Amino acid sequence: MSSKANEWDEKLFKGTVTQFMYVVEAGDVNIVAFASASLIKTNDLFEREVNSIYILKEFQRKGIGRLLIKSIITKFIEINVKSMIIWTLEDNPSQIFYKHLGGNIVDKRIIDRGGKSLQQIAYAWEDITCIFGHSNR
């Protein structure tokens, strides 16, 4: 098994669960989208972080992103989380999605991916219950 495969095996199947993931399938087996988030605090200012959201291009703009984020928010609210943050690449055209959901830019950072320096932008929500009209009743 490769080191990347070992890393995912460790994250998914061993030790303390620190993340959760939602997967969207089309047809019988094909995964067309996924999103993952942290169950532990990873940021000083916001309670939880959405680690990733990815949707195949041909399945974008069909409500899948909203469904994934809504599912994450529902899970966060179940565990009494009120705020969240998500990092995205500065040149990601999907930034409009986070803006549309009411996210505010709260930070920027440079990351290294494969020897390339990339700018990331953080969108955050101080009150996730406002995004889709959730309540903590």
Q: Is residue 84 part of a domain?
A: yes
Return the pLDDT at 78. 93
Q: Is residue 136 part of a domain?
A: no
> How would you label 1-31 residue by residue, b for 16+ Cβ within 10 Å and e otherwise?
eeeeeeeeeeeeeeeeeeeeebebeeeeeee
Return the pLDDT at 51. 93
Q: Is residue 119 part of a domain?
A: yes
- pTM for this predicted structure: 0.81
Q: Is residue 70 part of a domain?
A: yes
Q: Is residue 79 part of a domain?
A: yes
Structure tokens at 108: 């920027």
Q: Which residues span the domain enclosing 37?
A: 3-130
Return the pLDDT at 116. 93
pLDDT per residue over 6-57, tens digit each? 665 665 666 667 889 999 998 876 899 999 999 888 778 899 999 999 999 9
Which CATH number do you get for residue 41? 3.40.630.30
How many domains is the chain partitioned into structurally? Answer: 1
Beta strands in 16-135 (DSSP E): 19-26, 30-38, 48-55, 84-89, 104-113, 116-125
Q: Is residue 124 part of a domain?
A: yes
